[in-house]
Chain A
Amino acid sequence: MNPLRRVLFLLALLLAGSVAALHPKDFQSPEEEARYRALAKELRCVMCQNQSLADSPAGVADDMRRQVLALIREGKSDAEITAFFQTRYGDFILYRPEVKPVTWALWFGPGLLLLVGAGVVVSIVRRQKTDAPAAPPADDRQEW
């Protein structure tokens, strides 16, 4: 195999592993579909935990997606639907964690660390400026 072919072959192998999630196709309106898709993105697949419901091909994700659509059709609000899953699967089901005291470190920790880091950099740079000897004395005798 020539190198290009080999690369294409490997790419094809990579793609072979990805299975598409099954979504219902019988939406009653574009609004319904939009709500469904938004909710599926907000909820985590409990089986393959690094994926949202929107992306997961797992069987249980399928059941949960059906449940999402059923709840939409029952006239439940988005908040009621996420709450429905939250009381059954816990906070874990939320793909985007809520902002509350236990998750403060998660939400604000990185920003805080960034600020601390910036502070450290600034103080080091400042110190170097004051510590560094003034511009080297002009030396006209230097021969180039």
Chain B
Amino acid sequence: MGRWLPLGLFLALAVLLGVGVVMNAGKTQTDIDSPLIGQPAPDFALPDFADPATTVRKADLLGKPYLVNIWASWCASCRVEHPVITDIANSGRVQVVGYNYKDAPEDAARWLQQFGNPFHRIIVDLEGAAAIDWGIYGAPETFLVDANGIVRWKHVGPVTPEVVETQLWPLLNTLEAER
């Protein structure tokens, strides 16, 4: 029996390794699960991009679900997901709020002019201080907040048509059924 012990140990390790590989297949290692899911969205008060003198608060957005899309003109992946975000906004199923993250306002304006503005509303976080409350660590990131102001979903990285099909629409269906 003793002579089989090393082989047994080796196989046990191999199985462990295999399980790890299978469990992590298709996952992005750098994604951090947000502890905000199921929790109230952070209480924010940020200037409106269209009219910086106006402050948009969390309370202003309550009542119907909305998507918060973190973007910036310096963010290359934001261009990639731009058509997808536009499609979501055009579907009329959910409000899309742009969260302009650490961006120069003139650059952001140029970006919107060049690619089109898909957002129903844009809030501005110039310093990135409010972003810490959201657990934001880069752009793009996208949150779904329900009518009661509870965070229901977060996606890190560009939103793809597949993500919309397999995650966002089903979730919106549940939200609509809940009401």
Residues of A within 8 A of B (CB): 46-47, 49, 59-60, 63-64, 66-67, 85-90, 92, 120, 123-124, 127
Is B23 close to A, CB under 8 A? Answer: no
| A/B pair count, beta carbons within 8 Å | 48
Bound-state CA distance A124–B4 (Å) is 12
Residues of B within 8 A of A (CB): 2, 5, 9, 30, 32-36, 102, 127-129, 131-138
Bound-state CA distance A90–B133 (Å) is 12
Query: Which residues of the other chain, B, contact A85 by a CB distance below 8 angstroms?
Result: 132
Please tell me if the beta carbons of B32 and A88 are within 8 angstroms of each other in the complex: no
Query: For the complex, would chain B's binding face be called helix, strand, loop or mixed by DSSP majority?
Result: loop
Chain A: minimal CB distance from B26 (Å): 19
Please tell me if the beta carbons of B138 and A60 are within 8 angstroms of each other in the complex: yes
5 cross-chain pairs, A with B, having the tightest CB-CB distances, nearest first: A46-B137, A90-B35, A88-B135, A63-B128, A89-B135
Please tell me if the beta carbons of B36 and A47 are within 8 angstroms of each other in the complex: no
Bound-state CA distance A50–B45 (Å) is 32
Chain A: minimal CB distance from B40 (Å): 11
Residue of A nearest to B127 (CB): A63
Residue of B nearest to A90 (CB): B35
Query: Which residues of the other chain, B, contact A127 by a CB distance below 8 angstroms?
Result: 2
Query: Which residues of the other chain, B, contact A60 by a CB distance below 8 angstroms?
Result: 128, 131, 136-138
Query: Which residues of the other chain, B, contact A59 by a CB distance below 8 angstroms?
Result: 102, 128
Query: Which residues of the other chain, B, contact A88 by a CB distance below 8 angstroms?
Result: 35-36, 132-135
Please tell me if the beta carbons of B5 and A120 are within 8 angstroms of each other in the complex: yes
Question: Looking at the complex, which one of B30, B36, B131, B133 makes contact with A49 (CB distance below 8 Å)?
Answer: B30
11 cross-chain CB contacts under 8 A:
A46-B32, A47-B138, A63-B128, A86-B35, A88-B36, A88-B132, A89-B32, A90-B135, A92-B32, A92-B33, A123-B2
Residue of A nearest to B30 (CB): A49
Query: Which residues of the other chain, B, contact A47 by a CB distance below 8 angstroms?
Result: 137-138
Given contacts A49-B30, A60-B138, A120-B9, contact A87 B35 (CB under 8 A): yes
Residue of A nearest to B133 (CB): A88
Residue of B nearest to A62 (CB): B128
Question: Looking at the complex, which one of B32, B102, B131, B138 makes contact with A90 (CB distance below 8 Å)?
Answer: B32
Query: Which residues of the other chain, A, contact B131 by a CB distance below 8 angstroms?
Result: 60, 63
Bound-state CA distance A49–B30 (Å) is 7
Question: Looking at the complex, which one of A63, A90, A123 makes contact with B132 (CB distance below 8 Å)?
Answer: A63
Apart from A59-B102, A90-B34, what 9 extra A-B contacts exist at CB < 8 Å?
Answer: A46-B137, A60-B138, A63-B132, A67-B129, A88-B132, A88-B133, A89-B137, A124-B2, A127-B2
Residue of B nearest to A86 (CB): B35
